[in-house]
Amino acid sequence: MSDVERFENQPENCPGTQSENAGKVSACAKCPNQQLCSSGTLKGTNSGMHEIQERLKDVKHKILVLSGKGGVGKSTLTCLLSRAFSLKNAEEHVAVLDIDICGPSQPRILGVLGEQVHQSGSGWSPVYVEDNLSVMSIGFLLSNPDDAIIWRGPKKNGIIKQFLSEVDWGKLNYLLIDTPPGTSDEHLSVTTYLAKAGLTGAIIITTPEEVALLDVRKEIDFCRKVNVKILGVIENMSLFVCPNCKTESKIFSTSGVKQMCEDLKVPFLGSLPVDPLLAKCCDQGIDYLRERSNSPIVKALDKIIEGIEKQCTI
């Protein structure tokens, strides 16, 4: 599974097999697959979208967790939000889908490292963290933590499609999709595949510093280009309170997140402070919400959850 994948015959400006121009542009002239593409048979794979639509018809809200920047807390927030939703209402089911193929973090953060995915007649069974919280990640399919997925785009797209069409989630209130950083294959694929099934929107995570905001603005631009509704922006790692003297430090320089939200007219959902214990809980897969139920992060999270619920109903 970890062999280097080479597509030596694929032209560099291939329009993609699903494109209207598949097999028809100048780049296709020398491609060995030109006939196949221009015949339109490959577009038949569009039927995959129908399967996805069918599979996800009992999932009420499908939400992407995005950020142009890496390491801002997409996976941590996805985990916190899913746990908060599951804790809030024991009757409603929540699930997390991790589409970070090269760096899956959900198995560790949700405390289900080393679990296996089982196949049944109705599809792949996700791994259950709580009775009403399940997760699927490529991490469950790797036998060794050192195994690297060295894949180019098309193979990543293939597995994402499988995750969307073959996982047997059951009836869900929320499906949170954790993504890798950037605006490339994974992001385009997931938005395309979910176009018919209906994507509720995207939550964007950022840290306060300008370097992160720079990439996050690009992500907002991406959402607008592909017509994904932005449910709101969450600022992570905003302040650090010294456990010894209670001095507040801005580790990642001054914050322009609220200003950015105003400038770009997107809702601001809230800020979360830095807590070293949260990083520790993520490393060990412990439920932070139960561990530190009175922390400022949990309080901030409550408001964020309210904000998301409100945005989902608009």
Of 229-288, binders to other proteins (CB under 8 A) are: 240, 242-245, 247, 249-253, 274, 276, 279-280, 282-284
Q: Is 14 annotated as a binding residue?
A: yes
Cβ atoms 166, 55 nearer than 8 A: yes
Spatial distance between the Cα atoms of 8 and 55, rounded to a whole number of angstroms: 34
Residue 57 CB burial class (10 angstroms; 0-12, 13-18, ≥19):
exposed
Q: Does 152 bind other proteins (CB under 8 A)?
A: yes
**Which residues fall within 8 angstroms of residue 83, CB to CB, at 6 or more apart?**
130, 133, 287, 288, 289
- Give the binding range for other proteins (CB under 8 A) out of 10-18, 118-126, 158-166, 291-299: 10-18
Nearer to other proteins, 207 or 238 (CB): 207
Q: Is 67 annotated as a binding residue?
A: no
Q: Does 1 bind other proteins (CB under 8 A)?
A: no
Q: Does 16 bind other proteins (CB under 8 A)?
A: yes
Residue 48 CB, nearest distance to other proteins (Å)?
Answer: 17
Spatial distance between the Cα atoms of 289 and 281, rounded to a whole number of angstroms: 10
Q: Is 242 annotated as a binding residue?
A: yes
Residue 104 CB, nearest distance to other proteins (Å)?
Answer: 8
Which positions from 56 to 75 touch other proteins by CB under 8 A, shown as an x/- string?
A: ------------xxxxx--x
Q: Is 245 annotated as a binding residue?
A: yes
Spatial distance between the Cα atoms of 237 and 310, rounded to a whole number of angstroms: 24
CA distances from residue 27 to 11, 18, 33, 217 in whole angstroms, order as listed = 6, 15, 11, 32
CA distances from residue 41 to 22, 35, 47, 125 in whole angstroms, order as listed = 11, 10, 11, 31
Size of the site for other proteins (CB under 8 A): 75
Show the tokens assigned to 43: 């577009």
Window 203 to 222, contacts with other proteins (CB under 8 A): 207, 209-212, 214-215, 217-222
- Give the binding range for other proteins (CB under 8 A) out of 38-46, 87-95, 151-159, 306-314: 151-159
Q: Does 29 bind other proteins (CB under 8 A)?
A: no
Window 76 to 115, contacts with other proteins (CB under 8 A): 101-103, 105, 108-109
Nearer to other proteins, 48 or 103 (CB): 103
Show the tokens assigned to 66: 């995005």
Spatial distance between the Cα atoms of 239 and 310, rounded to a whole number of angstroms: 26
Which residues sit in the known binding site for ATP?
Answer: 68-75
